Structure 1
Amino acid sequence: MRFLPFSLAAATAFAPIAAHAEPDDAKIIVVASGVAQPADEVGRSVTVIDRAEIEQRQTVALSDLLATTPGVTVARNGGLGTATALSIRGAQSDQTLVLIDGIRVSDPSSTGGAFNFASLLAGSIERVEVLRGPNSVIWGSQAIGGVVNVTTLQGAQGLYLRANAEGGSFGTFNGNAAIAGGNDRITAGLTAGYLTTDGISAAADGTEADGYRQFGATGNVQVTLAEGLALDLRGYYADGKVDLDGYAPPAFTFGDTREYAKTQELYGYAGLRHEAFGGRLRNRIGFTLSDIDRDGYTGDDSIAYRYRGRAERYLYQGDAMLADPLRIVFGAEHEQSRIRYDEGFGSTGRYSAGITSVYGQAIVTPIAPVTVTAGVRNDDHSRFGNHWTWNADLAVRATADTLLHASYGEGFKAPTLYQLYSAYGFQDLQPETARSYEAGVRQSLAGGKVALGATWFHRDADNQIDFNFATSSYFNLNKTRAEGIELEAVLRPVAAFTVRGNVTHVTAENRTAGSIGKDLPRRPRDTASVSADYRFPFGLSLGGTVTMVGDSFNDAGNATRIDGYALAGVRAEMPVTKMLSVYGRVDNIGDVRYQQITGYGTYGRAAYGGVRVRFQ
């Protein structure tokens, strides 16, 4: 992609290079240590996206917004609803742990156990934290590349209502509604949404559009049972159907077919919270459930495959402030995962695995400007035995406007049941492990009008699991390595004008003998995004985003190149009354033709418009 170096240089010249990570003492981070911390005590790289930014960017699929954040790349097998993989700092997509309202939402029946971002729409989401780098001490298996922590609409005292409806290109309609309320004893939040689209062809050279529809809902209730004791109930449900393309006879080349798939996802949490000693000791016990049904159908509506994945998790977490400079976070968990499948060609199975974990982490502030965090975890897997992971990070407020941060983290991920036992499985697979280092600085200038950040990172992974197309089975790569730098900033010369941008350079390579120096598939070395928004005194908001993605390779042998691309979009919103506004956007305004995965289609120019209602 020859234009990329020039584009990055241009972005650097015209705007600070980045987004989302301005130093803000009032910002609270949960994903770094599993408990709420001020941002200036966190020694790890975390991006925070709130509801205001989701609405400003008019986000429908959360993955599209995450793709504009530092260190994150996204690849989708066609239009909305098709398989969507997210990679952090060059890691495998199934090495990203996803949490929705504290529930691990990985699919035990999928190939690598990864969460499919295709189903995660933004209508119900209030806040997202993206932690870049391993953090298995707190979050356990799968947190090798990073963690995406999603919070949906929560209950609150009083009454809050919002709704929006939009339509546009490709026969698309998207509607969402949310209500939250409560009093000092009980609060609750509920959201519901429906999306339907005619879509585009999943095959790049196809002519038949592949549509998608989804109904989704979230709910949560918090009940104060007694002083210091509360009950938490949370749930998330998504039901989707997506049309697919495949390999039809007699040529068996990828193209238009009438195949489709249905997916139902149900995630739930029930738990108790207890506070004692004036809030200096907090305890939480809970149970989480993940239940995913995936069915594939042929063009004549016959069943092609069935997958059933279920994970039950029992957990305890303690959070003790032993003294002002010392905080201890500790816990124990047990997860039981189960899969059932019928792959449609005589391959059927039913398997389960369990993992029991204990962990502890100390957060120490020896002097006010310095916070040190260190922890250890033991995972006892029913098949692979005990494994220890460690982490440590440091945050130093060097001056009122300068934060230095550094961290070391380890990751651990056992092979999935599918990778071990399916028709493509290999039972001698070994667990994946990783060690990661990072160091960086966050700087505020001009009285907070400019915020800059720079982070260097390095990760070595052992036994990374990949698929061998020659043998049609999974295997372990001996070593992989990812190293790079992230630059990020926010410019607010006046309250009404915000410019955000970021640049990431990462080299993600296979370090296994015979393949040393080969780029890992679909890992562009360079990505960048610049976004600007301005609100006029009479209420009109105008904005735009440019996202640039460099060249990559579609295959492990680096024989098939995927050309880089740059996409630009514009948006506007205008209030009509205090409660009602109208909005619209044009995506890929240049009608750029590009691919994220060789042979799969992507959207051209598209326009959408809608209305938004809010009452509080």
Structure 2
Amino acid sequence: MRKFLFLLSVSALLPSISQAQESAAPLVESDGADEDARTLTITGDGFAASTELTGESVSILTRSEIEEVQGADIVRVLTRTPGVAASRNGGVGSFTGIRLRGAEAEQLLVLVDGVRVADPAAPGAGFDFGNLLPGTVGRIELLRGSNSTIWGSQAVGGVLLVEGREFDGAEASVEYGARDTLYATAALGLEGERYGLTFSGGHYDTEGFSSAAAGIEADGYRQWQAGARGRFALTDTLDVVASARHADSRLEIDGFPAPAFTLADTAGFQETRESSGRIGLDYGGERLNLTASFSLSDTDRDTFDPGFGTEPSFSTQGRSERAELRGRYFLKPYVVAIAFGGEAEWSRFSSSFDPQQDAEIVGAYAQLEYRVRPLVLNLGVRRDEHDRFGGATSLGADAAWLLGDGWSVKASMGEGFKAPTLFQLYSDYGNAALEPERSVSYDIGIEKGARRSGRFHFAVTAFQRDTEDQVDFVSCFGVTGGICTDRPFGTYDNVGRARARGVEAEATVGLWAKFEAGAAYTYLETANRTPGSANFGNRLARRPDHALTVWGDWRTPLDGLTLGFDIRMASESFDDAGNFNALDGYATADLRARYDLGPVELFGRIENVGDAQYQTAAGYAQAGRGAFVGVRAGY
């Protein structure tokens, strides 16, 4: 049967580039059943296409690379792509923010199995990567740069798509290691002539270590997670698709107890329940592709302080529902197409101190796509209307010039916007007059190949993004008039401006058919450009100027044994907007091994071999040296 690689894909006819095209010939599409997932992107217009058919900067991580990295730490996977800066308040499971090309963590749009999973109840309505464990992830796609034309609100820094596993068979893995850590996953895939169905789940439990660098009491974390993805072909051109995911987590946290009010050991903990699901119809005709879907995401958080009883000391509930239609019509097959779509999203939040508030946003877009060798050109426009603040228009364009022999020059310009969150609008600190954050980004680069593995892949890109009307918190201490009227504890306002620019590069190379190496590097300059701010000209917090990850794998002469390493380095940064609190640069190294015995694979690693002591958020410790061993079996 057809191999359905992507939940949002609407046809078995997936675009690819013919290797035997003459100049000025159309970039034809072919049956995508055997396409390598490392060469396909859906961020261009929502449909699966070769990465050569977009001028945007995209990196793709497949299941094989995720397994290669090993373990439950999503940061160790994501830092294999350029542009990524991660900060975390402790160990695995602690709050984890991903800043892409210097954008705020809340300005990265995250979708899991096609569902937007940002928490509307969080102050910035961002996604906490602490609860995303990679054991059941099948694929990650990362688009860098503003792209609200196709993806709407929040796509200021970029778009990160996560897909669960899809396969035919059964597999289970378990690993145990440092800090009494156990991580077990299992997946079962069923595939027939007209259907495909995959169930997956995982359990993670660790004693952990003290999140507070000055603490001594270990902070544990556990999570149960389950998911399912399915597809059923009603006809040769119409499929029903569905997905569901639920994660239940418990994290022990440190805080700022009296009388010192400095970060220290506490007995507090937080329980989080994340649920999401999507159901849709995919139609793939000769010229017209359509996908229609309804999705929802729900996040509930309860924070407990045992010193004040057994009931939660603070709770939040955030929910969003979304109806969506995407389409693509070929005006001239494989040469000129119109991609189009429309969405409506309803979100709401409430907390222990805030009554329920809700908002609605609707949007529509169109993109013209031109594909005649050697030129690929995409031009798009979008309009969104928010029932609380009004509307926003976004433009986007990208182009690729195919030079031959796998080389191409790529460039893109994109606009992004992020609607103010319900917390920023209607909490005790809210300001109902807020406008959306806006950005415009540019990049240009050259690329060889479209795969992260193989004989040779290389890409280098220069980029810049300017952001204005960023929503920042305004202190009202000692101020009673103006925006601070009736806001004694502060409020939010559109006062922030920022710039981020730099160069990023990634490469993989295969040597001697036995050794493969890769690297991802980012040089980043950031600046606060808020007029009149005391922090004008300062570097943005938690964004190192230099970040480098280097990895390699050697298939040894001993049949089935592979040895590997990952080295991660980051330069110093600042933890605060005032640039008073410096975070030292650091370097860590991991050693890995895998022994393939056919249906069974043994694996193990040593993380942070040098036992580096470092922080990515001031006062919060990171994991020291730890050893882990595991076994994976499947058929």
Could you tell me the TM-score, scaled by structure 1's length? 0.92
Q: Within 5 A, what are the aligned runs for 1:560-579?
A: 560-575=581-596, 577-579=597-599
Q: What is the alpha-carbon distance in structure 1 between the residues aligned to residue 522 and residue 321 of structure 2? A: 37
Q: What is the alpha-carbon distance in structure 2 between the residues aligned to residue 26 and residue 303 of structure 1? A: 45
1:495 aligns with 2:513: yes
For structure 1, the residue ranges without an aligned partner over 5 or more in a row are 1-23
Partner of 1:14: none
**Matched residue type, 2:356:** R
Equivalent of residue 505 in structure 1, options 523, 540, 546: 523
Asked if structure 2 preserves the Cα contact closer than 8 Å seen for 1:105 and 1:115, the reply is yes
Equivalent of residue 295 in structure 2, options 288, 293, 307: 288
1:594 aligns with 2:603: no
Q: What is the alpha-carbon distance in structure 2 between the residues aligned to residue 569 and residue 379 of structure 1? A: 45
1:610 aligns with 2:630: yes
Asked if structure 1 preserves the Cα contact closer than 8 Å seen for 2:389 and 2:434, the reply is no
Partner of 2:576: 555
**Matched residue type, 1:332:** G
1:46 aligns with 2:42: no
Partner of 1:217: 226
**Matched residue type, 1:504:** T
Q: What is the alpha-carbon distance in structure 1 between the residues aligned to residue 39 and residue 283 of structure 2? A: 24
Q: What is the alpha-carbon distance in structure 2 between the residues aligned to residue 584 and residue 248 of structure 1? A: 39
Q: Within 5 A, what are the aligned runs for 1:441-590?
A: 441-443=446-448, 449-468=455-474, 471=477, 472-513=490-531, 514=533, 515-537=535-557, 538-575=559-596, 577-590=597-610
1:247 aligns with 2:252: no
- Cα drift, residue 184 of structure 1: 1.5
Greater mean alpha carbon deviation, residues 414-423 or residues 187-196: 414-423
Q: Within 5 A, what are the aligned runs for 1:133-148?
A: 133-148=145-160
CA displacement 1:469-490 (0-9 Å, x = unmatched): 6754333334210010012211
- Cα drift, residue 468 of structure 1: 4.2
The number of equivalent residue pairs is 581
- Cα drift, residue 355 of structure 1: 0.2
Partner of 1:326: 336
Partner of 1:196: 205
1:337 aligns with 2:347: yes
Distance 1:213 1:25, change over 3 A: closer
Distance 1:542 1:425, change over 3 A: same
Q: What is the alpha-carbon distance in structure 2 between the residues aligned to residue 480 and residue 396 of structure 1? A: 31
Asked if structure 1 preserves the Cα contact closer than 8 Å seen for 2:305 and 2:313, the reply is yes
Report the secondary structure of 1:418's partner residue: helix
Asked if structure 1 preserves the Cα contact closer than 8 Å seen for 2:449 and 2:458, the reply is yes
Asked if structure 2 preserves the Cα contact closer than 8 Å seen for 1:376 and 1:388, the reply is yes
Report the secondary structure of 1:285's partner residue: strand
Equivalent of residue 363 in structure 2, options 357, 365, 368: 357
Greater mean alpha carbon deviation, residues 31-40 or residues 78-87: 31-40
Report the secondary structure of 2:356's partner residue: strand
- Cα drift, residue 263 of structure 1: 0.4
Distance 1:198 1:584, change over 3 A: same
Partner of 1:16: none
Asked if structure 2 preserves the Cα contact closer than 8 Å seen for 1:135 and 1:410, the reply is yes
Report the secondary structure of 2:615's partner residue: coil
Q: Within 5 A, what are the aligned runs for 1:392-431?
A: 392-431=397-436
Q: What is the alpha-carbon distance in structure 2 between the residues aligned to residue 372 and residue 411 of structure 1? A: 19
**Matched residue type, 1:353:** A
Asked if structure 2 preserves the Cα contact closer than 8 Å seen for 1:539 and 1:574, the reply is yes
Q: What is the alpha-carbon distance in structure 2 between the residues aligned to residue 261 and residue 473 of structure 1? A: 26
Structure 1 runs of 4+ off > 6 angstroms?
Answer: none
Asked if structure 2 preserves the Cα contact closer than 8 Å seen for 1:98 and 1:104, the reply is yes
**Matched residue type, 1:572:** A
Report the secondary structure of 1:54's partner residue: helix
Distance 1:78 1:326, change over 3 A: same
Partner of 2:304: 297
Larger relative contact order (Cα-Cα within 8 Å, sequence gap ≥ 6): 1
**Matched residue type, 1:394:** A
Distance 1:559 1:323, change over 3 A: same
- Cα drift, residue 250 of structure 1: 3.0
- Cα drift, residue 187 of structure 1: 1.4
Partner of 2:94: 82
Greater mean alpha carbon deviation, residues 494-503 or residues 456-465: 494-503
Distance 1:326 1:59, change over 3 A: farther
Partner of 2:19: none
- Cα drift, residue 552 of structure 1: 0.6
Equivalent of residue 368 in structure 1, options 373, 382, 398: 373
- Cα drift, residue 249 of structure 1: 2.5
**Matched residue type, 2:422:** L
- Cα drift, residue 64 of structure 1: 2.4
Q: What is the alpha-carbon distance in structure 2 between the residues aligned to residue 404 and residue 394 of structure 1? A: 8
Q: What is the alpha-carbon distance in structure 2 between the residues aligned to residue 599 and residue 79 of structure 1? A: 13
**Matched residue type, 2:433:** D
- Cα drift, residue 466 of structure 1: 2.6
- Cα drift, residue 547 of structure 1: 0.5
1:103 aligns with 2:112: no
Asked if structure 1 preserves the Cα contact closer than 8 Å seen for 2:81 and 2:506, the reply is no
Report the secondary structure of 2:77's partner residue: helix
CA RMSD of aligned residues (A): 1.8
Equivalent of residue 49 in structure 2, options 37, 41, 46: 37
CA displacement 1:428-484 (0-9 Å, x = unmatched): 322100000000001369x97333221000100001123346754333334210010
- Cα drift, residue 318 of structure 1: 1.1
Could you tell me the TM-score, scaled by structure 2's length? 0.89
* Percent pairwise identity: 38
Asked if structure 1 preserves the Cα contact closer than 8 Å seen for 2:454 and 2:508, the reply is no
- Cα drift, residue 25 of structure 1: 11
Distance 1:377 1:175, change over 3 A: same
- Cα drift, residue 424 of structure 1: 2.8
Distance 1:52 1:319, change over 3 A: same
Q: What is the alpha-carbon distance in structure 1 between the residues aligned to residue 131 and residue 37 of structure 2? A: 33
Asked if structure 2 preserves the Cα contact closer than 8 Å seen for 1:84 and 1:117, the reply is yes
- Cα drift, residue 71 of structure 1: 0.5
1:306 aligns with 2:312: no
Distance 1:38 1:587, change over 3 A: same
Q: What is the alpha-carbon distance in structure 2 between the residues aligned to residue 369 and residue 495 of structure 1? A: 32
Partner of 1:163: 172
**Matched residue type, 1:485:** V
Equivalent of residue 389 in structure 1, options 387, 394, 401: 394
Q: What is the alpha-carbon distance in structure 2 between the residues aligned to residue 358 and residue 411 of structure 1? A: 14
**Matched residue type, 2:313:** A
